[in-house]
Amino acid sequence: EAGVAQSPRYKIIEKRQSVAFWCNPISGHATLYWYQQILGQGPKLLIQFQNNGVVDDSQLPKDRFSAERLKGVDSTLKIQPAKLEDSAVYLCASSGRPGEWEKLFFGSGTQLSVL
């Protein structure tokens, strides 16, 4: 069974540039999450989708970060313009399969370096 797919694996950009990350969740999972993991810290939730609607974006810096999940399947997270402090690993996760709704499965992440 395929897991959560993310791309790209690595990205290096200069500050003030823009960047986008893509995520394809596990088939059948209604809920999709984007987490930010800064080096040495645990993941922090940025945004959570239930199907194609946002249910929690309270910690998303909305002046520069945006995310969408137009058809309720894959999702894109964008940063524009990037700042040095955005350097982190961006993890996508999904959950919601019947009988396993409490389990969150993570992708391998996109490591972003902002120079």
Partner 1 sequence: GEDVEQSLFLSVREGDSSVINCTYTDSSSTYLYWYKQEPGAGLQLLTYIFSNMDMKQDQRLTVLLNKKDKHLSLRIADTQTGDSAIYFCAERNSGGYNKLIFGAGTRLAVHP
Question: Which positions touch partner 1 (CB under 8 A)?
Answer: 4, 31, 40-45, 48, 50, 55-56, 91, 93, 95-96, 101-109, 111
CB of 92 to partner 1, least distance (A): 9
Q: Are 25 and 73 in contact (CB under 8 A)?
A: yes
Nearest to partner 1 of 20, 45 (CB atom): 45
Q: Are 76 and 22 in contact (CB under 8 A)?
A: yes
CB of 31 to partner 1, least distance (A): 6
3 state DSSP class of 33 = strand
Nearest to partner 1 of 78, 105 (CB atom): 105
CB of 63 to partner 1, least distance (A): 22
Nearest to partner 1 of 15, 103 (CB atom): 103
Nearest to partner 1 of 75, 95 (CB atom): 95
